[in-house]
Amino acid sequence: MADTEKIPPPPEATIAAPKVAEATVPSAEISPGRGRQIGGFLLRLGPVWALVALAILGTVLNEDFLSPANVSNVLTRSAIVGLVAIGATFVLSAGMIDLSVGSLAALIAGAMILSMNEFSSSISSFPLLLTVGVAIALGLGALGGALNGLIITRGKVDSFIVTLGTMGIFRSVITYVQDGGAATLKSGLREQMRPLYYGSFLGISAPVWTLIVLTLVAIVVMHKTRLGRYALAIGSNREVARYSGIKTDRVSLLVFILQGLCVGLATIIYVPRLGAASITTGAGWELEAITAVVVGGTALRGGHACVSGTVAGIVMLSLVGNILNLTSNLSNLLNGAIQGAIIIAAVLLQRRTRT
């Protein structure tokens, strides 16, 4: 809509500005600004440089590191949490946090497996059965996200607290339903579902394709739609967003639903990998996802997001694990320690370049 011409007419010449003084920005910030731009540029490339460095390190330690098989393996393994992390990019850029994603994944996985087993006797067509499973996964994901979002916006409770609560609730509900044990897909179903994880096209595995597509969609949503702009505005300053006529509650709710859908999608790919879900399914995903987002350059306090950085972050994290597996010098039991060091280093680097 070209409504811009309806903006009140320009001030007439009589009230033209005193140009002298107003033209200068409070100059104190001019030169640090330039420094910050360069810093920001390096920062945006930060995850990429780190990836390159890790790849070199990996090759030095083990020549098989860059073999197609290994690379494909690393990427495929990162894809599942990568899907979750893309949702988390939206949540964090809106200045909130979702700790319940791992538990939600466990709930969805359990529900999907149990219901597909149940329906397999009445629905003989596998595509139809799969559709039901997918619908259940995405539906539960959206529902879980909506639950988080509604409590946060209606109850005006901090997202950290709400999702800390639902993190316990989701996992405990599915643990109870599964009676403390694992849920396993019927073996026939399992075979039929395998391609969702193990299939590949043009030499690229299905999970990686999913990640690529979702990344592209997320970049568009984040930077080319009102939803993304509003989420960033809320993350930058919720009050300013509200006073700009943005329905901040509705945007927050949508962001959490988006996160839930991402978890649903990740779980759909996760289930055929093992064909089972245990009570520890998805454990630690929330931290891995948040780590990837922050390492990728999205501000933890919100207002700035980098979707491709998140993907770089998640690949970096699984590269670390992979390198540890490929070398005998360092135990891969130290994986957690190294990932922890990476997130701290990333935040320190951000602080240095931002302020």
Give the type of residue at 218: A
Q: By C-beta, is 3 or 179 nearer to another protein?
A: 3
User: Contact region for another protein (CB under 8 A) — 61-69, 240-248, 256-264, 308-316?
Assistant: 240-248
Q: Which of residues 63, 224, 336, 344 is near another protein by CB under 8 A? A: 224
Shortest Cβ 210–another protein spacing (Å): 23
SS3 151: helix
Distance CA 349, CA 47 (A): 11
User: Contact region for another protein (CB under 8 A) — 138-146, 165-173, 199-207, 242-250?
Assistant: 242-250
Taking the CA atoms of residue 294, residue 299, residue 302 and residue 307 in that order, the dihedral angle to the nearest 10 degrees is -60
Q: Confirm or reject binding of residue 225 to another protein (CB under 8 A).
A: yes
SS3 278: coil
Tokens of 251: 């945007």
Of residues 107 through 166, those in contact with another protein by CB under 8 A are: none
Nearest CA to 147 out of 95, 94, 101 is that of 101
How many other CB atoms are found less than 10 A from the CB of residue 101? 34
Shortest Cβ 262–another protein spacing (Å): 20
Nearest CA to 44 out of 276, 353, 355, 260 is that of 353
Distance CA 30, CA 36 (A): 10
| Structural contact between residues 218 and 93, judged by C-beta atoms closer than 8 angstroms | no
Q: Confirm or reject binding of residue 22 to another protein (CB under 8 A).
A: yes
SS3 105: helix
User: Contact region for another protein (CB under 8 A) — 73-81, 121-129, 220-228, 316-324?
Assistant: 220-228
Q: Confirm or reject binding of residue 25 to another protein (CB under 8 A).
A: yes
Q: Which of residues 160, 176, 198, 243 is near another protein by CB under 8 A? A: 243
Distance CA 303, CA 234 (A): 7
Distance CA 232, CA 303 (A): 4
Shortest Cβ 188–another protein spacing (Å): 43
Output the DSSP codes for 177-214: HTTTS-EE--HHHHHHHTHHHH-EETTEEHHHHHHHHH
Site string for another protein, 262-281 (x = CB under 8 A): --------------------
Q: Confirm or reject binding of residue 28 to another protein (CB under 8 A).
A: yes
Q: Confirm or reject binding of residue 304 to another protein (CB under 8 A).
A: yes
Nearest CA to 318 out of 305, 306, 335, 331 is that of 335
Q: Which of residues 245, 329, 351, 355 is near another protein by CB under 8 A? A: 245
Q: Which of residues 167, 246, 257, 295 is near another protein by CB under 8 A? A: 246
Q: Which of residues 190, 194, 229, 273 is near another protein by CB under 8 A? A: 229
State the Rg of the chain over Cα. Answer: 23
User: Contact region for another protein (CB under 8 A) — 7-15, 130-138, 192-200, 328-336?
Assistant: 7-15
Q: Which of residues 115, 236, 308, 332 is near another protein by CB under 8 A? A: 236
Q: Confirm or reject binding of residue 242 to another protein (CB under 8 A).
A: yes
Q: Confirm or reject binding of residue 351 to another protein (CB under 8 A).
A: no
# residues near another protein by CB under 8 A:
54
Taking the CA atoms of residue 163, residue 144, residue 278 and residue 323 in that order, the dihedral angle to the nearest 10 degrees is -60
Q: Which of residues 59, 131, 244, 331 is near another protein by CB under 8 A? A: 244
Q: Confirm or reject binding of residue 10 to another protein (CB under 8 A).
A: yes
Q: Which of residues 30, 38, 53, 213 is near another protein by CB under 8 A? A: 30
Nearest CA to 262 out of 307, 309, 305, 225 is that of 307
| Residue located via tokens 């602080």 | 351
Residues that bind another protein (CB under 8 A): 1-12, 14-31, 33-34, 223-227, 229-230, 232-233, 236-237, 239-247, 303-304
